[in-house]
Amino acid sequence: MSPMRSFLDTYDLPHRVPVAVRVWILMLAAPAIVIGLWFVLPHTVVAVIVVAAVAILVVFGGLARILSARELKELPPRRPMKPPSVGGD
């Protein structure tokens, strides 16, 4: 077992990046990429078309990657709990 997996198991941390974190990364990365390209490329018609195409690809590609996450396809694990009226421990 790798040291990282052991660390994650010891502290009961998730083994995959949560979907919410992926969405925030996309929300920060997509505008940064587009703004970076806007400043780097010369302001010509071709450059504007390239920046628009990259923006569309980054947004839709990122959303497709996020929405294809395993967490959104798997059913949550069952954790049956006794009702409070039963008493218990």
Report yes or no on 40 lying in a domain. Answer: yes
In a domain, 26, yes or no: yes
Tell me whether residue 31 is in a domain: yes
Contacts of 5 (CB under 8 A, 6+ apart): 15
C-alpha distance from residue 65 to each of 20, 85, 87 (Å): 13, 44, 45
Q: Which residue has the tokens 């990122």?
A: 62
In a domain, 80, yes or no: no
57 inside domain: yes
Residue 63 within any structural domain of the chain? yes
pLDDT of residue 73: 85
Asked if residue 34 lies in contact with residue 55, where contact means CB atoms within 8 angstroms, the answer is: yes
Per residue in 18-40, pLDDT (tens digit) is 888 999 999 999 999 999 998 99
Q: Structurally, how many domains does the chain consist of?
A: 1
Query: Quick one: pLDDT band at residue 88, thresholds 50, 70, 90?
Result: low
Range of the domain at 31: 16-72
Decide if 85 is inside a domain: no
Q: Is-contact 37 51, C-beta < 8 A?
A: yes
